[in-house]
Chain A
Amino acid sequence: MNVFKNTVLAGAAVAAMIGGAQVHAARDYISIVGSSTVYPFSTVVAERFGKATGHPTPKVESTGTGGGMKMFCGGVGTNFADITNASRRMKDGEFKDCQKNGVNDIVEMLIGFDGLVIANSLKAKPYDLTLKDVFLALAKNVPNPDGSDTLVPNPYKTWKDVNPALPATKIEVIGPPPTSGTRDSFAELALEGGCKNFPFIKAMKDADEDQFKSVCHTIREDGYFVEAGENDNLIIQKLDSNPDALGVFGFSFLDQNNDKVRGSSIAGVEPTFESIGDKSYPVSRPLYVYVKKAHIGVIPGIKEFVAEYTSEKAWGPDGYLAEKGLIPLNDDLRKKTAKAVRAGEVMSGEGL
């Protein structure tokens, strides 16, 4: 009788102790959440910071930009993240959400750029695309080929149909699923960039922004665009085995696999470190890191972490982040941002 009772009681006691004791324990490590695109960069900084200083290595979660913003703006206190990564700027709604939950002072840090590439296998010929070609090949609805200002379901089957200068291979583009931030950026930068070439669609932007977005951001679902899951290594494997296909992924994957795949040039510009940095390559996006000012001094090490992030040996042109594929800001912008961030200047929330 006693044996059974004791076991149950002991089990319950252990459970209560483990659960209870930890609930309000102070956190002594930095908690970082947010974009999976910035994750490879923030993790390198976190690791170096942990090894070089006596502080525990920050914990970095990859939750996506939107998910990260939610956790970051949830409130002030050790249960909420200290820093969030973003592959786009904070939205006005998110900023207001932050303010509502008491996260008033946010330090914004532009860390660099990331390029999106449309690549194919080295076994096939290189493509020279324009954003208009990309839009026509991949959008769900496209302007009527007869030239009238109407939209029709995408009729194009081969690249030659889209643009006579391109080869007569079937359109087959492997890319990320809708849950991915890369997909959002691709729609926003590449498709919308091509979409604006049509005056009647561009006019839509002022008249009805929602309709403009649905026209420009919707990717076709009739099999010509293949969703490959979040794993970019898988896309590269597929391109390697299928020379006719093209794939969409981040520049750092191209950089690591340049013996298998090649980035197509867009409007004559090849995706390289330099062309993305000086913005002549059009499909690039800014990467941000947001820091909660109220946590500086509460969670140890945030100030030093930010200093490490903005040091030349990290984000400079020869820094270790560039080695990992981050495209650095120009010298002036780096200096200006580092100064502002280290001084703890907070966002005003204007112009978001």
Chain B
Amino acid sequence: MIEDHQKKAEQVARGLKRRYRAEKRFRFYGIMAVAFGLLAVAVLFTDIITKGSGAFRQTYIQLTVHYDPEVLDITDLRDESQVALGNFSGVIRQGLYDRFPQFSSRNDKRELNKMISSGEGFELRDRLVENPSLLGRSETLWLVADDDIDTYFKSYGDSGGAFTGRVSETQRAVVEGLKQSGDIRLKLNTNFFTKGDSREPEQAGIWGAVVGSFFTLVITLALSFPIGVAAAIYLEEFAPRNRWTDLIEVNINNLAAVPSIIFGLLGLAIFINFFEVPRSIPVIGGLVLTLMTLPTIIITSRAAIKAVPPSIREAAIGIGASPMQVVMHHVLPLAMPGMLTGAIIGMAQALGETAPLLMIGMVAFIVDIPSGPASPATVLPVQIFLWADSPERAFVEKTSAAIMVLLAFLILMNTTAIWLRKRLERRW
């Protein structure tokens, strides 16, 4: 008898060891899985940040410009056509020639002209219009350098040597001269945060896409949240359980898994071709993304409603509330945090979407900052896509910087969702 017991105990002890080992192994696999995920994220982030951090700073060149009425060909600032036709790049050119008189050959002058961003002439125009007394006077300004100079100047200290592929001998000499007198410097790239798209990397900014994303998401939220919640309430609280509601449920779950490009095709066929909504505007983008996020919102809202315990409903009915009052006064307020979380996650998904927008013309070159939901716009991920495809070297860092901005928004939205859930969640 006792021997038998000892045998069993030995058996158990041996088995126990094996079971402990198995558990350890299992935990190790888990840790490895998490570590792999973290490693992937870390690689992605370091790659994007090392590539993109340069874009937040931009090369500026300090130059004295003289608003010479003769060069500008402006006699009267009140005459708009004169101002529009004014030769403002000529003023910058003259400033460069005066600064570097040693470069006087035609070829050298051409190289000099290419050093300041072509968009800066328009900046000067705006300054002059704002402050007419500048006409005929001089002013020392920090002007944005051309993207080739910017790439060159940023790669100055690189181990592999500076990137000289697109700058000439003359330009290198000029940069050297400017560097010695402290007239060339990296400064915060304000253009990147305040301007719309541009084909000149040094003039390109993310603000147009941010505003476009904002209008698109506002429309998506305004449409998909009420519709989604109403559908969820009806299906959960009022609909009879029969074959029809089963069919609807299967279809909603199915729709949540449909590739997003299909919604773009649907939007093209219905909204653009049939209802003749114009292409490329946030309204059409919002409509299409509404179709895409609706299933997500319906499903999460239904789950939130289901999580409200039946006792609440029964108690309300017990003291004489109508089914409508039960829903409006009790179920909906209690389910709201869950619904909001679902909506935010749906919105974050919509914010990162490009495929359906391809079909409805939102993958487009748009310079002007959208003034409302009906003016042509593009969105953040599309901006990233467009920049990644551009030949100019300086767009590489712009692309990564735009990804950082998009990621910041996504992290912000997801944190809000988690915070809301933690804050408002009620346990029963």
Contact = CB atoms under 8 A, between A and B. Distances in A.
Contacts, number: 122
Contacts of B276: 23-24, 79
Contacts of A57: 366-368
A231 B395 CA distance: 13
B388 A231 contact: yes
Contacts of A323: 114
Contacts of A54: 80, 84
B227 interface: yes
Contact of A230 (B279, B280, B389): B389
A253 B391 contact: yes
Interface stretch (A59-67, A187-195, A283-291, A293-301): A59-67
A343 interface: no
Interface stretch (B29-37, B158-166, B172-180, B293-301): B158-166
Given A19-B275, A23-B277, A51-B119, A60 B226 contact: no
Contacts of B416: none
A72 interface: no
A1 B324 contact: yes
Contacts of A125: none
Contacts of B391: 40, 232-233, 250, 252-253, 255-256, 324-325
Given A18-B219, A40-B391, A61 B84 contact: no
Contacts of B287: 19
Contacts of A52: 84, 122
Interface in B268-289: 275-281, 283, 287
B230 interface: yes
B363 A320 contact: no
Contact of A50 (B275, B364, B367, B390): B367
A27 B328 contact: no
A259 interface: yes
Contacts of B390: 40
Contacts of B376: 29, 59
Contacts of A207: none
Interface string A30-55: 01000010011001101110111110
B199 A11 contact: no
Contact of A259 (B110, B165, B281): B165
Interface in B312-369: 324-325, 327-328, 361, 363-368
Contacts of B364: 59-62
Interface string A274-311: 00000000000000000000000000000000000000
A23 B219 contact: no
Contacts of B367: 46-47, 50-51, 57
B166 A22 contact: no
A48 to B, nearest CB: 8
Among B219, B367, B376, B389, which residue has the most Cβ atoms of chain A within 10 A? Answer: B367
Given A19-B287, A79-B276, A62 B363 contact: yes
B389 A60 contact: no
Interface string B214-227: 00000100110011
B365 A256 contact: no
For chain A, give the interface size range: 35 or more
Nearest to B272: A79
B324 A61 contact: no
Among B164, B200, B226, which residue has the most Cβ atoms of chain A within 10 A? Answer: B226
B76 to A, nearest CB: 18
Contact of B277 (A1, A19, A324): A19
B122 A51 contact: yes
B389 A56 contact: no
B393 interface: yes
Contacts of A165: none
A258 interface: yes
A7 interface: yes
Contacts of B200: 47
A59 B212 CA distance: 14
Contact of A4 (B222, B275, B328): B328
A60 B278 contact: no
Contact of A11 (B198, B222, B279, B280): B222
B230 A8 contact: yes
A243 B15 CA distance: 57
B396 interface: yes
Given A47-B199, A59-B280, A232-B389, A11 B226 contact: yes
B189 interface: no
Nearest to A318: B110
B283 A18 contact: yes
B55 to A, nearest CB: 15
B244 to A, nearest CB: 22
A233 B114 CA distance: 24
Contacts of A258: 165-166
B275 A256 contact: no
Interface string B164-196: 111000000000000000000000000000000
Contacts of B393: 256-257
A25 B118 contact: no
Among A56, A259, A323, which residue has the most Cβ atoms of chain B within 10 A? Answer: A259
B373 interface: yes
B392 interface: yes
A233 B396 contact: yes
A324 B146 CA distance: 13
Given A1-B328, A11-B227, A22 B281 contact: yes
Given A4-B328, A61-B363, A233-B389, A259 B163 contact: yes
Interface of A: 1, 3-4, 7-8, 11, 14-15, 18-19, 21-25, 27, 29, 31, 36, 39-40, 43-44, 46-48, 50-54, 56-57, 59-62, 78-79, 230-233, 250, 252-253, 255-259, 318, 320, 323-325
Given A18-B283, A39-B365, A57-B368, 20 more contacts: A11-B222, A18-B374, A22-B281, A25-B374, A44-B199, A47-B199, A47-B365, A50-B367, A51-B367, A52-B84, A53-B84, A54-B80, A56-B368, A61-B365, A62-B364, A232-B391, A233-B389, A233-B396, A258-B165, A323-B114
11 contacts: A1-B324, A8-B230, A40-B391, A59-B366, A61-B361, A61-B365, A256-B166, A256-B391, A256-B392, A258-B165, A259-B165
- Among all A-B residue pairs, the 10 with the closest Cβ atoms: A259-B165, A57-B367, A60-B365, A11-B226, A43-B365, A61-B364, A44-B199, A252-B391, A59-B376, A258-B165
